[in-house]
Structure 1
Amino acid sequence: MFWVKQLLGIAVPPALLFVVGWFWLSLVSKYVPEPYLDEIFHIPQAQKYCEGKWAEWDDKITTPPGLYAVSVMASRVGLLGFQTACSPRTLRSVNVWCISLLGLVAATCRSRIERNLVGKMPSTRVMSLYSVHTGFNIALFPVLFFFSGLYYTDVMSTLVVLTAYSNHLNRLSRKQSSVLNDIWTVVLGLLSLTMRQTNVFWVVIYMGGMEAVHALKMLSPSNQGRISTETISERMRRIIHGYSHGSIHDLPLSQAWPDDAFFTVASLVIAVCANPLRVLRQVWPHVAIMAFFGAFVAWNGGVVLGDKSNHVATIHLAQMLYIWPLFAFFSVPIVSSVGFFLFDTVLGCASSSSVQAVTSTTNRPRSPQSRTTGTDTGSQAVFKRAKGAKDSPQQLSAFDSSEHTPGRTSGQSTLRLLLCAALATFCVIGALVVIKYNTIIHPFTLADNRHYMFYIFRYTIRRPGLFRYYLIFPYLISALLAYKVLTIGDDSTSHPVSAFNNHPYDPRSGLLGLSETNKASPKGPEKSAAASEISTLEEDDASQSTVPTSTAILLLLSTALSLVTAPLVEPRYFIIPWIMWRLLVPAWSTKKYVNAPRHIPVLGLLAKAGSQFDLRLPLETAWFVAINVATIAVFLLMPYQWRTEDGTLLDEGRLQRFMW
């Protein structure tokens, strides 16, 4: 019965997505039977391939021909049904299949993220309800789902990137991958580049960077405990020695402070320089992908294939301001968790136990070990005995908890607050400088009033006076919300000794990659426990775990590289950054609030329900459905015609439609 539920849980969302997607396609085919907007380039090019004219190419197309080639192959083997071969409807149906698969692949990615966070092997993790629902919601992401009814590259491109990401996450569950999987990684990476060139930042920088971190964490650092009489130079040598042998400073994001990001980067740089061959063995597939991409750019004379004059790479830092309000708008149900119960606390009527519960998420708590032994926790803590586990080099780090860990003394707390204040000041000043000197408005943005971005720019960024500078407040507040959402998980349960360095200890599965129980298939009672159903958040602490600091740094870096090189601002460019961010968002359980007295009674009921499942997910589903219905209705039912001031029809009187 359990596996039947699992199969239904996995099969129903893709089936539902297919039905909804096909209905959306039917509406588009009825109201917009002819190619529209960018489809006037994509559909004729695919039809040329259908006719066998593989050497013909439209110079107005900027992206590679991966979508067209896959569409032709799918049509020839009958995957697109018995419709007219390569008609607009047939070609559009490709994306309906893609959006259905995308939800399942996204759920798989989220499940593997959870598995890797707690160090469990593939055979011991079932897909959680949180993973399945997250994947379903990602497929409903309005900017993505809208194009599932049109013949654009975005849906298939995203599907291929997520497939490569799923394979990458599976590689992270092993100490070292096989050569066959290395080759498969190269194939998936190159396939993603045939869809869209900017995917190189995700398959090379983001995934390749995490592979490098993984390779370093698989090292076995030697135990060099702190000596109380050591000098500063001796301590520095010991710290660097620990870094170079794999004791990476990589706190869970929920326990990291701004300075921890610096130490994370420093430890990784030192470790990479000390272990180049080990890192290269792990990341060579990504290096190969980058080499192929570099060869393509050299052969092509640039990144884009066609229309090069209108798509010149530039430095557009303002993109890193625009992205955060988009995240906040589409993720209102998700980011609301940051301040929902804070609202009740502000009223001053919550009990001290409630206040303590709230601050336990905001502040950096001690792990059970630190509460037991009286020592601090941190990425470089000296791990003590953990529930009967023997001390080993893998459980010991380069230096102890008093160095570069969440502050406990008043002096450390004050210093870190000053660092936070300095960081906030830097962000404000930096944003103002970017707004003044690097606000780029592409001619396409102003020339086409069919896109929502035209109106966003018109009524915000292009307003006269100082209005564009006032936007710094929604920019930075949205960025803070996007960051805080990644930190609201509960690492105290899934990481009794947190995954701070190379071999996180988990009392249920031993040391990652070292436990015999992980290597062998569970038998008897162990097998029963491993295969038990996970239906509530109380039973599934893995979904509540937060990712390491290094992952967040790589996400920010990859997002920046993929956006700041584009002069044109389009919501479609934010699809993959949003999805990668959304996949890292931990589940939010309200278990800690259940017994806390509430000034508003309904909060108590919500807290009880939220201890069983993440309340944000159904709200997110409803929010996405509402946005999709609204944008689809506007697209289909509110067409208009372009006219001159004297009323003369333009574009031969064709109907124009609003879209992303």
Structure 2
Amino acid sequence: MSYFVSPEFLRVLVLGFITSLHMTWRRLVNQLVPVPYLDEFFHVPQVQAYWSGKWSHWDPKITTPPGLYIFSYGLNSFRDLFYLDFKPSLNEWRFTNVLLLYMLLVALYILTAVEKKTVNHAGILQREFSIVMFPLIFFFSALYYTDLFSVFTVVLTHIFWSARSSADGGRKVLYQALHLVAGLVSLATRQTNIFWVAVYLGGLQVVESVKHQIGPDKVHDPPVSEASFEDYATTSISLAQAGIAMIPPLLLDLWPQVSLLAAFTAFVIWNGGVVLGDKDNHIATMHLPQMLYIWPLIIFFSWPVMLPQLSYIPALRTRPPRLSTSLTLLALMLVTVNLNTVIHPFTLADNRHYTFYIFRILRQHWFLKYAAVPVYYICACLVIGALGGATREPRPVPPQKSQIRLLYGHDTVRVSWILVWLAATSLSLVTAPLVEPRYFLLPWLTWRLAVPESTPVPVQQSTAPARQIKDSSHGAPASRFTCSLQAVLRLAASYSTALELVWYLLVNMVTCYVFLYKGFEWPQEPGNTQRFMW
């Protein structure tokens, strides 16, 4: 009987539940949206042209390379072996992303194993479940869009890079070659993946190679949970000084990433730009506020992930930057909003996307876009703080030592990772004039994979009256309200993974329902149903 209540069995039940929801979503989309919708209007005719053998045909409105179409062609060619007179319809092309969702789930498990990430084997829920239920992934898994194949190829490239880290000799060269091949496939799917398969992984490789060459103790790279704002500048200088002194061996380790950068550069020169088609509406523009929008987006989707760092409130007082630093950053954010806010015409012209309504609110009064700046800053602090793991209450230690202990171990995120992630995220976002939630998908995914799987340590209940409980930061009595809030946060933090999955289920239920059943018509296009989507 114990077998049927084991974590493994319960995980199978959860996966079965997720699969049933996904199949229902796919079935309803095919029933209620039987014709190509929005970007499918361009993608489906293009892949149909390839299926008909018209390999020279190309729709000039398509901005991304044909990686998804070629993958779909190969997949349906394999299916064609088992069917008589197989003629792919919209349903079959959409099936590509249905399959890719489960391929992504497997790839995420492989990445966790290769990176030797900490896994709570006794727990029922795992982060891979939450990732495949992430609204931007789940929603587009039933449509013929490029996002899932793009994410899958980036994760696949990351697997080969991570596998190389623990290999040597011929196996190392093999994994590097596979990294290059997977990276090229990723670039053939979406050009901006260069920042993840080359810049991001290249930055991580530089950090790893430098530490391996001179020793990790000789590089200033503290854990995020112990770092001050000044540590970010110190770490940058420390890595740069060490890296410059060992450029030849670094290039030997970086040859897959350098090759990908060379291939991307050659493509841009040949194409005369990054995007393939519709170049007039996709001109690269300096758009720095994109690096402000990402923080509330991550908080909206992943607020349960923030709960472990709130498991002991007094510890938070040691994490935010100093007042002078905070004021400086806020001032820079205000200047960025004032001088560089870019609103693409598509954003204000298409009321089918949720960003239309967000920017309409921000444009109602000139003050609102500045009032949002403190929100951006607080969200950024929480997102970075989540990488420090959970906090735990003080234990008896000598007075001269810190009384706040932070949980971090094998999965500790260090300052160098933040620097690399910020560089890749900035490069992928700040040149895009259009604000689309899908553009933030890979930055969110890499951040989510880096968040330590830590759980707050249970705290023994005190028998002393609430008025006698001390705030460890100032020695002042804590109020009953503070104690109650702390207890609620600690309880919520212990169920953060479950809350994350439930939150994604709720968001998906609402957005999928609105897409399917709350369509509307534009006066200029009577008879055509328009649908709300990300």
TM-score relative to the length of structure 2: 0.86
SS in 2 for 1:52: coil
1:268 corresponds to:
239
* Matches of 1:251 and 1:266, distance apart in 2: 13
Q: CA deviation at 1:144?
A: 1.6
Q: Map of 1:372-411 to 2, 5 A cutoff?
A: none
Distance 1:6 1:162, change over 3 A: farther
Are the counterparts in 2 of residues 148 and 155 from structure 1 also a CA contact under 8 Å?
yes
1:621 corresponds to:
501
2:258 corresponds to:
287
Distance 1:592 1:127, change over 3 A: closer
Are the counterparts in 2 of residues 21 and 99 from structure 1 also a CA contact under 8 Å?
no
* Matches of 1:278 and 1:6, distance apart in 2: 46
Are the counterparts in 1 of residues 7 and 121 from structure 2 also a CA contact under 8 Å?
no
1:147 corresponds to:
140
* Matches of 2:77 and 2:41, distance apart in 1: 22
Task: Render the CA deviation track for 1:529-571: whole Å, top value 9, x for unaligned.
Answer: xxxxxxxxxxxx8778421211111111111110001000000
Q: CA deviation at 1:208?
A: 0.8
* Residue ranges of structure 1 left out of the alignment (5+ in a row): 116-124, 222-242, 343-357, 365-416, 493-540, 644-649
Matched, 1:208 2:202: yes
2:533 corresponds to:
659
* Residue ranges of structure 2 left out of the alignment (5+ in a row): 394-406, 467-479
Q: CA deviation at 1:323?
A: 0.8
1:638 corresponds to:
518
- The equivalent position to 1:184 in structure 2, one of 178, 186, 189, is 178
Matched, 1:88 2:90: yes
Are the counterparts in 2 of residues 107 and 134 from structure 1 also a CA contact under 8 Å?
no
Matched, 1:467 2:368: yes
SS in 2 for 1:557: helix
SS in 1 for 2:79: coil
1:167 corresponds to:
160
- The equivalent position to 1:248 in structure 2, one of 219, 223, 227, is 219
Question: Partner amino acid for 2:34?
Answer: P
* Matches of 1:15 and 1:8, distance apart in 2: 11
Q: Map of 1:312-327 to 2, 5 A cutoff?
A: 312-327=283-298
Q: Map of 1:151-550 to 2, 5 A cutoff?
A: 151-174=144-167, 178-221=172-215, 247-339=218-310, 341-342=312-313, 358-359=314-315, 363=318, 420-460=322-362, 462-489=363-390, 545-550=411-416
* Matches of 2:148 and 2:122, distance apart in 1: 24
Q: CA deviation at 1:270?
A: 1.1
SS in 1 for 2:388: coil
Are the counterparts in 2 of residues 105 and 135 from structure 1 also a CA contact under 8 Å?
no
* Matches of 2:78 and 2:344, distance apart in 1: 42
Q: CA deviation at 1:155?
A: 1.0
* Matches of 1:480 and 1:566, distance apart in 2: 24
- The equivalent position to 2:459 in structure 1, one of 563, 586, 593, is 593
Q: CA deviation at 1:253?
A: 1.2
Q: CA deviation at 1:105?
A: 2.1
Are the counterparts in 2 of residues 189 and 203 from structure 1 also a CA contact under 8 Å?
yes
2:402 corresponds to:
none
Matched, 1:563 2:429: yes
Q: CA deviation at 1:247?
A: 1.7
Distance 1:199 1:555, change over 3 A: same
Q: CA deviation at 1:311?
A: 0.2
* Matches of 2:366 and 2:439, distance apart in 1: 29
* Matches of 2:174 and 2:392, distance apart in 1: 35
Question: Partner amino acid for 1:619?
Answer: L
TM-score relative to the length of structure 1: 0.70
Distance 1:596 1:169, change over 3 A: farther
Question: Partner amino acid for 1:282?
Answer: D
SS in 1 for 2:370: helix
Q: Which 10-residue stretch deviates more, 585-594 or 427-436?
A: 585-594
Identity %: 39
Task: Render the CA deviation track for 1:507-549: whole Å, top value 9, x for unaligned.
Answer: xxxxxxxxxxxxxxxxxxxxxxxxxxxxxxxxxx877842121
SS in 1 for 2:54: coil
Distance 1:9 1:287, change over 3 A: farther
Distance 1:26 1:608, change over 3 A: closer
* Matches of 2:106 and 2:122, distance apart in 1: 13
2:445 corresponds to:
579
Are the counterparts in 1 of residues 10 and 124 from structure 2 also a CA contact under 8 Å?
no
Q: CA deviation at 1:93?
A: 1.0
Are the counterparts in 2 of residues 80 and 90 from structure 1 also a CA contact under 8 Å?
no
Task: Render the CA deviation track for 1:308-331: whole Å, top value 9, x for unaligned.
Answer: 000000100010111111111111
Are the counterparts in 1 of residues 310 and 490 from structure 2 also a CA contact under 8 Å?
no
- The equivalent position to 1:105 in structure 2, one of 93, 103, 107, is 107
- What is the count of residue pairs matched by the alignment? 500
Task: Render the CA deviation track for 1:625-654: whole Å, top value 9, x for unaligned.
Answer: 0000000000001111101xxxxxx22420
Q: CA deviation at 1:216?
A: 1.2
SS in 2 for 1:166: helix
Question: Partner amino acid for 2:67?
Answer: G
Are the counterparts in 2 of residues 544 and 589 from structure 1 also a CA contact under 8 Å?
no
Q: CA deviation at 1:297?
A: 0.7
Distance 1:101 1:490, change over 3 A: farther
Distance 1:292 1:5, change over 3 A: farther
Are the counterparts in 2 of residues 22 and 93 from structure 1 also a CA contact under 8 Å?
no
* Matches of 1:28 and 1:452, distance apart in 2: 19
* Matches of 1:605 and 1:449, distance apart in 2: 39
Are the counterparts in 2 of residues 107 and 136 from structure 1 also a CA contact under 8 Å?
no
Q: CA deviation at 1:17?
A: 4.3
Are the counterparts in 1 of residues 311 and 486 from structure 2 also a CA contact under 8 Å?
no
Are the counterparts in 2 of residues 6 and 127 from structure 1 also a CA contact under 8 Å?
no
Question: Partner amino acid for 1:271?
Answer: A
Distance 1:267 1:208, change over 3 A: same
